[in-house]
A and B are shown apart, each in its own frame.
Chain A
Amino acid sequence: MIQITDEILNQYLDGDLNSEEIEQVKSALSGSEKLQRKFNALKIVHDKLSVIKEDEVSSGFTNKLIKQIVNRSVVPKQQKYFIASVATFITILCLVIFGFSISAVISSTSSAAGDSKSVLDSVSGLSEGLVNALQQLFSGAGLSIIGSIFSIIVLISGYFFFEMQKRTKANLGNGQHL
């Protein structure tokens, strides 16, 4: 004979007992008014809990959430485009500088090509020309021009980046007022 504890009554309510145990509980319940009262109260709790109502979120919750999700996915795309465009611009500038250097080297070495006799001489001539070209580019007026171009790029990038951050914060702020 099992002892009818609160645990057993709960298991009986949930249908977790085997047929033999069920019979024992039924018999115990019919023989004890106190136990019957406890079980009935438990059943009432179970019944009342079974019909509890769900609470509702404020109206417009879904729309605001979806808007926030869409805004969040748009901002990274804008950032990607911005970074890609800045990277492209810098790459093009580097290529221009590199191209200019190469062309300067070639022009300076081509004049001396007739005098060169060995491969070693031409390689050393090329490297010497490259150094000269770079020195020319990064000294005096050349350096000022490059410095100015980079400064402008940094300023423009900084401005757009600041604007984008401001917009991102504004979007996130709007989403938090749900």
Chain B
Amino acid sequence: MRNLSDQEIIDSVKRGNDSDYSIIVDKYKNKAFSMLKRMLKNEFDAEEVLQDCFLKAYKSLNAFKGEAKFSTWFYRIVYNTALTRLSSQKRKTESEMTSVEDHFNLESQYVADEIEKKDLSKFVQETITKLPERYSAVITMFYLNEMTIEEISGVMGITVSNVKVMLHRSRNALRDLILKNRLAEELI
């Protein structure tokens, strides 16, 4: 069976073939879940929000005209739903922090002895969840979902340069943590 494009699947769902929506769900569920888990810092909430996102997307399929990529459109739903959940939980959200000029300190969240015991890859993977929500979203979209800076900018509703600043800042924070704790001394 040939691989159907997102648009072909959506057209089929719009024609009433609800079960075809499962192809879309299977394609995006893990990537969207990874993003939500890192933003919400909670697996259970992430899965619940993911379910809401797919239902929202399904209900709004008629509004999707195919002008943008489906993935961009869908991740915008995911991102906004996550922010809504965060604000409803009265947690400190990046949207309340006004701009990307805010600073964060990953170092304060770690004890050096704990870091040394961990594998570097695992350490990086885990540290992403310690980043502020919008930063971890940028990292996930860029590296895991392989989205371009422009696409991320479209999803988050911010400028391309702001996305770059957030990406660079996240990398710098991780780098500083590695350097300060001599986590990859032999590689460097």
**Chain A residues in contact with chain B, CB under 8 A?**
6-7, 10, 13, 37-38, 40-42, 44-46, 48-58, 61-63, 65-66, 68-70, 72-73, 175, 178
Query: Which residues of chain B have C-beta atoms less than 8 A from A58's C-beta?
Result: 47
Q: How far is the CA of A51 from the CA of B31 in the complex (A)?
A: 13
Q: Determine whether B78 belongs to the interface, using a CB cutoff of 8 Å to chain A.
A: no
* 4 cross-chain pairs, A with B, having the tightest CB-CB distances, nearest first: A10-B168, A48-B124, A49-B143, A54-B34
A-B contact pairs, 19 of them (CB 8 A): A10-B168, A10-B171, A38-B175, A40-B187, A40-B188, A41-B175, A41-B178, A45-B171, A45-B175, A46-B171, A49-B128, A52-B124, A54-B34, A57-B29, A57-B50, A61-B51, A62-B22, A66-B21, A66-B25
Report yes or no: A48 in contact with B47, Cβ–Cβ below 8 A: no
Report yes or no: B18 in contact with A70, Cβ–Cβ below 8 A: yes
Report yes or no: B47 in contact with A57, Cβ–Cβ below 8 A: yes
Report yes or no: A66 in contact with B18, Cβ–Cβ below 8 A: yes
Please name 14 further chain A to chain B contacts, defined as beta carbons within 8 Å, in addition to the given A41-B178, A52-B121, A61-B29, sorted by A numbering: A6-B168, A10-B172, A40-B187, A45-B124, A48-B120, A49-B139, A49-B171, A55-B34, A57-B47, A57-B50, A65-B22, A66-B18, A69-B21, A72-B55
- Chain B: minimal CB distance from A84 (Å): 20
Report yes or no: A56 in contact with B33, Cβ–Cβ below 8 A: yes
Decide if the interface of chain A is mainly helix, strand, loop or mixed.
helix
Query: Which residues of chain B have C-beta atoms less than 8 A from A40's C-beta?
Result: 187-188
Question: Nearest B residue to A13 by beta-carbon distance?
Answer: B171
Question: Nearest A residue to B128 by beta-carbon distance?
Answer: A52
Q: How many residues of B contact A (CB 8 A)?
A: 40
Query: Which residues of chain A have C-beta atoms less than 8 A from B187's C-beta?
Result: 40, 44
Within 8 A of A (CB), among B10-46: 18-19, 21-22, 25-26, 29-31, 33-34, 37, 43
Question: Nearest B residue to A36 by beta-carbon distance?
Answer: B188
- Chain A: minimal CB distance from B130 (Å): 14
Report yes or no: B31 in contact with A61, Cβ–Cβ below 8 A: no
Q: How far is the CA of A175 from the CA of B19 in the complex (A)?
A: 16
Question: Nearest B residue to A46 by beta-carbon distance?
Answer: B171
